[in-house]
Amino acid sequence: MTTKPRLRETGAAAKRPISITAVVDCVGALASHSVHGHLYLYDTNKAGGSTGFGTEELRTKVRRGDQLLWNVLALECEAFVSIDDIVIDRDVIEPERKIYPGTDVAYWIGTVKKDDVQSVPYQIKFKVGTRTDPITTTLSPALFG
């Protein structure tokens, strides 16, 4: 009988990628000066326990070591939208803005620092169209463990 070799534990939490996508109705957001009713959030961790898909109050289930990647899509094909900032407790995660190589397309990425995260609400600030000041979420998505 053969046995499988055991993986040596390093003490560090394994990184599990979770993508969070914001779909913004830019025309509606610009007309109302708000993303309320014009924002649809999704993540790739439904099987892991995330809830609230397609709403502004997505609750993403996380654990220490998970790598979160936020990106944004415009509902209208010719509209511009980008994430300007993610306001969240920096003791839990520090999202950082990055650019896909060879493009001007930005995304935000960060690694969850804690286990047993209660509810950590956050806000996303969006640049929409030619508007100079960002539009911030009014309802809060959240991370929880």
Q: Tell me the per-residue pLDDT of 12-70, one tens digit each, with 9 for 90 and over.
A: 556 789 999 999 999 999 999 999 999 999 999 999 999 999 999 999 999 999 999 99
Give me 127's structure tokens: 């640049």
Q: If you average pLDDT over residues 8-15, what whole number do you get? A: 52
What counts of helices (H) and strands (E) characterise the chain? Answer: 1, 11
pTM, rounded to two decimals:
0.88
pLDDT of the residue at 13:
53
Report the C-alpha gap between 65 and 12 in whole angstroms.
Answer: 8
Report helix, strand or coil for 31.
Answer: helix
Alpha carbon distances (Å) from 16 to 48, 63, 65, 92? 11, 9, 7, 16
pLDDT of 10 above 90: no
Nearest to 116 by CA among 68, 66, 62: 62
Q: Can you give the C-alpha Rg of the chain in angstroms?
A: 17
Alpha carbon distances (Å) from 133 to 3, 34, 52, 137? 60, 12, 28, 13
CATH number of 17-144: 2.60.40.3910
| Residue 121 · residue 141 · CB < 8 Å | yes
